[in-house]
Amino acid sequence: MRYFITGTAGFIGFHLARRLLQEGHEVLGYDGMTPYYSLRLKEARVAGLVQFPQFRAVEAMLEDQDTLMDAARAFQPDVIIHLAAQAGVRYSLENPKAYLDSNLIGSWNVLEVARKLNVGHLMLASTSSVYGANAQVPFCETDKADEPLTFYAASKKAMEAMAHSYAHLYKVPTTAFRFFTVYGPWGRPDMALFKFVKAMIEDQEIEIYGEGKMSRDFTFVDDLVDAIVDLSLIRPAEENRVAGIDTLSQQGPFRIVNIGGGQPVGLLDFVETIENCMGKSAKRKMLPMQKGDVPQTFASPDLLLALVNRKPCTRLDVGVEAFVNWYREHQSYLT
């Protein structure tokens, strides 16, 4: 199949593109190579993809509608997987316009591409952040998600709503998947695991927000990729509606799916897992909850299980060890 993936220089986009290429698919990658974090890391990811003869890359911004359309039209994808976005919950407090440009305008441009090319399946990366401070657990896709705590979360919720309207108006088969704290090798430097491991290797303090009382439903990146690849083959339609728990819209071929294992881990347990994997104790600096943080995330994997017959299941210690080993191997250009 032919997959057009936005954000292939990013953490998840790299892993997804590499998996599809290894399986023999064609991939067109589209990435703006923004300097939100290390370009050396992004360039190293791309270098791992260009080794595949069936991979092509376009370097341009999502906001550049003409380039985006021209690239997609020349490639004629079967599936579009839109992963590119301005990421980071905390950064949205500093630079909300970056989220407006990328996550709203950029995502609308992707919707236009899918509409004009009549693409077979459009897939969009959303986030567990849309659930806000939801007290009801686990988080189900049918739960109310109208109280985002950050502009990042609001921009992703808006993207979901825009995509639903396109699915209704233009019958674009669309799946929006909500990620839950993805981690693993080649991860982003602004994520907790990356920052904690780096600080511990450098014998620096790690900053633990919320006095360590928060919990997260961690998802190993390989499990996430498994789910995306499986879901790419299931276009939202009445014939695959899951009774009782589905989010398949009555108004168009649109579905929202959590990608999470449903096994939240306390932040202090997470830190202890890292310590065990590294064989050393962290210097802990306990801090209050940051503005925009949520106390917990907890995915219901029931719909994902019903659709693809599996859910994220990699043990945290196994995933953390894989990251630590990767970091140590690549430390020379990560610091």
Positions annotated as catalytic residues are: 152
Measure the CA–CA gap between 308 and 313, rounded to whole angstroms.
Answer: 14
Q: Concatenated DSSP letters for 183-210?
A: E-TT--TTSHHHHHHHHHHTT-EEEEGG
6/287 Cα distance (integer angstroms) = 36
State both tokens at 295: 């106390």
**Distance (Å, whole) CA 152 – CA 104:** 10
Q: Is 243 helix (H, G, I), strand (E, B) or coil?
A: coil
Helices (H), 23-146: 39-49, 65-75, 91-94, 96-99, 107-117
Spatial separation of the C-alpha atoms in residues 125 and 107, rounded to whole Å: 10
**62 three-state secondary structure:** coil
* Phi, psi values for residue 259, rounded to 5°: -120, 95
Q: Tokens 């499986």 map to which residue? A: 230
Residue 209, class by beta-carbon neighbours within 10 Å (0-12 exposed, 13-18 middle, 19+ buried)? Answer: middle
